Amino acid sequence: MSALTRVRQRADGATLVCAYLLALLVIPARLVLSFVPMTLPPALVVALVLGVLSLSAHMVDSLGMGKGRNALRTAVLLYLAMHLATYAVATRRWLPMDELTVADSGMVRIVATISVAIFACDAIRTRERLDKVLKLVLACSALIAFVGLVQFGAGIDLASYVSLPGLRTQENAYSAMESRSIFRRPTGTTNHPIEYGLVCAMAVPLGAHYVFRARDEGTPQLRWWLCLALVGLGGLTALSRTAILGMTVAGVVLILTLPRRRKLTVALMGTAFFLGASLTVPGLFGTIRGMFSNIEDDPSVKARTADYEAAADQIDLNPLLGRGFSTFLPTKYTILDNQFLLTLIENGYLGLFALVGMFLTACYATVRARLISGDENLKGLASCLLAAVLVGGIASATFDLLSFGVATGMVFTMVGLSGAALRIASAEPGAEQRMRDRADVRAGGAVR
């Protein structure tokens, strides 16, 4: 198509989700608004705007928002309802002023982040627009990985040189120049190496998908190989068990869902990359091996398990709806590197069931999208989203996910995009017929 006849894409819901991702992943997380008393990063402001737009757009039928039932949106709204119930119960009883203040700001953060998931689920209506959003996720993750690799290799924090009008630098307890073993632990544009490693791990399956897709379409592959190499190496150099576990989970999902001819390619590619990185960075393999071989004697692991008894006492105080989101202050009580355990304390059993249910529903949405779609590209994107959601869910057991803004935003965006993938697949011609055919095949197999 020539430049004269090319139709320019209008700004739509996908454009707004991209704006949120740029604010979340490109602007360093330590930069927050300077003219408000609470800690408010720019991405959270964009998320609040998306929440208002989502609510407003659902009141009319002319703005192209997805209508009708969607399993993922239902699960996310139930999770929001649990947070609202917890907040109501927590603020009804007496809370110390420091905990009440954090409970208020915590509700702003979680409502804004949930709004992103709902907006992404309803506002992205075609596979092409979903594809654009995920390409941006990969590109931004590669940029974060590049900043992190410069920190890791040269000890230069490029993110610290970024200064924007209206933003101030938030003081962080963690420095990008701290180390593990003989290596610096990078943070990229995030606030912590674990968060940095998680973002890279979630982007790895996207890199693999676009490499394979470029090969099939005969388009240039170099940029996708570069992105894949950056996020893969970024995940390794984070020196985080969460990142290593996440990349392993992502690799297993790809091997299980890719066509047979590509399963071996992924396995060999992952092995070659790990060996190549270990040879390029002497001592990296030994450090990563030591993180797992001596796990029972690792001080950080011991610190995580030592608090379980005290956590159980806190859970018994408010078992149903918890003591209030964000009120279990690490500076006042203790640090819990387990989001599921922290959710039990702060949101109770109902909150935990809602959180786990949201992750499981997102996985269901991606699997169902693969089953009913006739578009191989959409099936590939659904596999990437399945991997990303599983990485985020499993990471919740290894660190306090919702305490880190970039990781939380990334996970909830992927959750919302999972619902969008299901909505797009369900709208394809013949989707329901393909589902009935699959059911008939299963029923026939059961009869035989």
Is pLDDT at 383 greater than 60 in this prediction? yes
Q: For residue 30, which phi and psi values (nearest 5 degrees)?
A: -75, -10
Write the CB contacts of 203 (distance below 8 Å, at least 6 apart in sequence): 137, 138, 141, 142, 145, 227, 231
Q: How far is CA 15 from CA 60, 72, 92, 122, 199, in A?
A: 20, 21, 40, 13, 21
Taking the mean position of all CA atoms in its chain, how far away is CA 130?
16
SS3 410: helix
Report how far residue 144's alpha carbon sits from residue 243's, in angstroms, rounded to the nearest whole number: 14
In a domain, residue 257? The reply is yes
* 336, 342 Cβ separation under 8 angstroms: yes
Is pLDDT at 308 greater than 80 in this prediction? no
Please, which residues bridge with residue 167 across strands?
Answer: 33
What's the pLDDT score for residue 173?
A: 47
**Consecutive H or E run containing 180:** strand 179-180
Picking from 17-21, 236-240, 303-307, 309-313, which range would have the lowest pLDDT averaged per residue? Answer: 303-307
Report how far residue 18's alpha carbon sits from residue 363's, in angstroms, rounded to the nearest whole number: 23
Structural domain boundaries enclosing 266:
13-57+70-428
Continuous H helices in 373-401: 376-395
In a domain, residue 4? The reply is no
Is pLDDT at 147 greater than 90 in this prediction? yes
Is pLDDT at 298 greater than 80 in this prediction? no
Please, which residues bridge with residue 33 across strands?
Answer: 167
Continuous H helices in 124-221: 127-154, 193-217
In a domain, residue 7? The reply is no
Tokens 């020539």, residue located: 2
In a domain, residue 444? The reply is no
Which tokens is 434 given? 């393909």
Report how far residue 158's alpha carbon sits from residue 359's, in angstroms, rounded to the nearest whole number: 34
Mean pLDDT of 172-194: 74
Q: How many domains does the chain have?
A: 1
Share of the chain above pLDDT 70, in %: 83
Mean pLDDT of 336-341: 86
In a domain, residue 104? The reply is yes
Mean pLDDT in the chain?
Answer: 84
In a domain, residue 3? The reply is no
Write the CB contacts of 80 (distance below 8 Å, at least 6 apart in sequence): 110, 111, 114
DSSP assigned state of 38: S
In a domain, residue 1? The reply is no
- The winner for highest mean pLDDT among 213-217, 260-264, 354-358 is 354-358
In a domain, residue 441? The reply is no
Mean pLDDT of 33-45: 86
SS3 91: helix
- Which residue in 220, 222, 223, 235 sits closest to 273, CA to CA? 235
Share of the chain above pLDDT 90, in %: 41
SS3 167: strand
